[in-house]
Amino acid sequence: MWLAQEVIRRKRDGLVLDAVDIQRFIEGITDGSLSEGQIAAFAMAVLIKGMTIEERIALTAAMRDSGEVLQWNLPGPVVDKHSTGGVGDMVSLPLAPLLAACGCYVPMISGRGLGHTGGTLDKLESIPGYDCQPTSERLREIVAEVGCAIIGQTADLAPADKRLYAIRDVTGTVESIDLITGSILAKKLAAGLDVLVMDVKTGNGAFMADAEQAHALAESIVAVANGAGVKTRALVTDMNQPLSRSAGNALEIAETIALLKGEIRSSRLWDVTLALAEEILVMAKLADSPDAARQQLMDVWQSGAALQRFARMITALGGPEDLIEAPERYLPAAPVIRPVWPKTPGTIVAIDTRAVGLAVVALGGGRRRPEDEIDLSVGFSELAFVGETVEAEQPLGWVHARDEASAAEAIQTLQMAYQVGTSSSLNKLIHERL
């Protein structure tokens, strides 16, 4: 006789669970036969005692199989990328069309903002008409026709993760690397991928601020995803300052369009995007080397092929046909736009990136509670980076706000988040590759 409490007890005592026990426990989460108390107890036992790689693979596979697993019959590799999130991290938006233009198929399952970090779906919903929740049939059509589609998790994909995460969120068990690995990969593997690249952020604006923790998560994801049959690599990248010049939903869409048109506002953003894309093209055997992959990417960027893929994806998912030609006509704009002047001129030495993200939330560009509606127009643009000079003619950035009061508060927060001195040193952008 199988009993959930026996599974919980064994994990509580630090024993290794077999794959059948893990599978049946996940089935109980999915069908509702397990109580919230049992699920919470299991999550706490895993947090405290940990799991072996084999247990993590079994957990991830069971969560993947708790719902629909997409199957593809396409003439090229099915690939994706996932980031642990940060401030100004809009890599997914240019990456998907770049890869599609190189011959990949990218069904990208993305999420919403969490805490101080922005969410890809929130950014895309600043485009009028964009549908983040198409049916599985429509997703298949768009990926086959356009090569990429960035959408949200449907109710049919990894439903066990949705219930387990909601309970982890209120029981102090979010930080478990075992459960984080399963949560991330269950959704990605349910998309039927051949290749996955993981961008694990580290630094003061990252979910995993500590470099050792970031390494451990990257190592876990690579081991588990490869063990589950998906070719996977991970990059640990810097989040000690915003990745792009913009932080805010519509503002990041505008910067994405500018980038795909050829305007590199942030070399940090572009370098991380290219590095991740190179890994995918090599793993997918569409390029023999990183150098060859980079040349492909530069070709489709400079020719406008990637821009056209982005435009076709927007239109296919309900957005305006001429967004690329006139983004200012469609993207919401904040009524109050003000420069943020430094308190003293000098060189930017450091940035409290988390504080920048929280300032966007305070402006209304993120959620304090899951049910909150967000203001898609607010945020920061033209943010200065470490090593750059700010002075009377060169601001820290520009705040976009709904009113003067919130603009004033955001100005003060940004001034406090930036440390200005006489000299600075840059953190390495890509810490390691696994």
Give catalytic residues, as residue numbers.
80-83, 120, 168, 183, 187-188
C-alpha angle 34-113-51 in degrees, rounded to nearest 5:
45
CB burial string 157-176: b at 16+ within 10 A, e below: bbbbbbbbbebbeebebbeb
Eight-state DSSP code of residue 114? B
Answer for the pair 236, 200: CB distance below 8 angstroms, yes or no: yes
Residues 251 and 255: their CA atoms lie apart, in Å, by 6
First-to-final CA distance of the chain: 42
| Tokens representing residue 280 in the block | 């995918």
Q: How far is CA 397 from the centre of its chain?
A: 24
Separation CA 22–CA 4 (nearest Å): 10
Beta-carbon neighbour count of residue 108 at 10 Å? 22
Question: What is the torsion angle, in degrees rounded to the nearest 10, for the CA atoms of residue 357, residue 362, residue 365 and residue 366?
Answer: 70
Given a contact cutoff of 8 angstroms between Cβ atoms, the answer to whether 360 and 247 are in contact is yes
Residues sharing a CB contact under 8 Å with residue 164, sequence separation 6 or more, in sequence order: 29, 39, 43, 63, 179, 183
Q: CB–CB of 112/119 below 8 Å?
A: yes
Three-state DSSP class for 180? helix
